[in-house]
Structure 1
Amino acid sequence: MKFSQVLLTASLFIPLSSLVVAAEPQQDVAQLLQDKIVVGEKEWVTVLDTDQRTIAKIDTGATTSSINAIDIHDFEKDGKDMVSFKIKAKDDVSKELTLPVKRWVHIKQSSSPETSRRPIVELDIKLGDKTYTTPFNLVDRDHMINAILIGRSFLDPIALVDVEQKYIHKKKK
């Protein structure tokens, strides 16, 4: 990919204020780009809490990442919101996980006027050779093609998206 294409793509996802060189002259656009990974439209990821490996769709239109969760039960423990759930990727269902709820969100689907209340939990995922902790909202995505949707809360600090590519971070056996 040409540098100009990368720069154009980067400018779509990096706030202009972070591209302006002000306080530190040695920090330039090339350095900002060098610190980011490039991901394609779809990537192989592993959910480390379950060792499930599946294809995630990269979605710059989604604020928060989503994961296909089933048997979702929220409860309170020692005054903290908790949630238990299983992750389903194709026909593979994980063991039950119990995690603290980081926050609750109300999501409005474009296909419905109603909102749904979803818990946000943090999960460790592996993309390529690196591990990242990122927030996911738990939702039944069985009707969707991909069990995992990676949104801007994951992408913004670490990645650039090349929509012409898929599986840049190949499946590792």
Structure 2
Amino acid sequence: MDFLNIRSILVCGSVTLFSGCALLQDSQPLSANNKNQINTAELVQMIKNNTERQLTQNDKLLKQNAQLKQQLTNLTKQIAEQPKSEPEQVQCHSSASETNGKAILGEVEWVYLPAIKKHLKARIDSGATTSSISATNIERFERDGEAWARFDMVHFDSALSVPMEARIVRTARIRQASFDKIERRIVVNLSLFLGEKLQQEAEFTLADRSEMDFPILLGREFLQDITLIDVGKQFLHAKYTEDKEG
């Protein structure tokens, strides 16, 4: 073996030796610093991803809130544009003076007598059987074969005595609460109006009521089946209008 061949073998061996060292150095495990750098990079990337994800969710919520706000605005506008309905007109007078087809009367009501064309205050008293009207100077007479009575009815509001005539229908036996004596009274038939709707023929006993507060008393025979009484109220019905008579 000559000198050149030996030199070549030595050079090749040296190259191989250094190449092997380089490979061994590249295959060594990462150092602690390198690991920390990798972990920090991963953490930064993770935070970045989470932040982007949160921002995306916030954008969605903002869009949803904007949509809900717009829907609310549209609904408010629709409600405002709807035509307003007129409130139902309630007839207070009717509801206060009628129920179940029966008239409700207060303790005192205005009564209109067509025979004398006047309004009189009437006391409503379910404790009395027969109605009564104030009468003085009572006289019996006959007309067309029937018994009639002529009397003076005192109009309390004007303190004037008004002459009246009415057909006698019967004679009633009346016992006053303050007297034991039974009194016989003439009973006449009179037409009356109470309010605008209630018109009725009613029987009235003739008696001097000059010491009473009211010239007319309406009893059970008038009230039954057509009226109810609210004793805590007065004048639930307006005065009858004379021009509506008939």
1:20 equivalent in structure 2? none
8 Å contact from structure 2 (residues 112, 239) kept in 1 = no
2:195 equivalent in structure 1? 128
Runs of 4+ more than 4 Å apart: 76-79
TM score, norm. by length of structure 2? 0.53
Task: Rate the CA distance shift 1:45–1:78 in 2: closer, same or farther, 3 A.
Answer: closer
Paired residue for 2:179, among 98, 102, 112? 112
Give the number of the structure whose residues are more often helix, by fraction: 2
1:167 equivalent in structure 2? 235
1:1-173 alignment, distance < 5 Å: 33-77=99-143, 79-90=145-156, 91-94=159-162, 96-130=163-197, 131-171=199-239
Structure 2 residue ranges without an equivalent (≥5): 1-98, 242-246
- Note the C-alpha offset of 1:65: 0.5
Q: Larger Rg: 1 or 2?
A: 2
Taking the aligned partners of 2:139 and 2:225, their CA distance within structure 1 comes to 31
The one-letter code of the counterpart of 2:154 is K
Per-residue CA deviations over 1:56-86 (Å, capped at 9, x if unaligned) read 1000000110000121112345653321112
Taking the aligned partners of 2:194 and 2:126, their CA distance within structure 1 comes to 17
- Between 1 and 2, higher relative CO (CA 8 Å, sep ≥ 6) is seen in 1
SS in 1 for 2:224: helix
Give the number of the structure whose residues are more often strand, by fraction: 1
Taking the aligned partners of 2:201 and 2:235, their CA distance within structure 1 comes to 20
Structure 1 residue ranges without an equivalent (≥5): 1-32
Taking the aligned partners of 1:129 and 1:166, their CA distance within structure 2 comes to 16
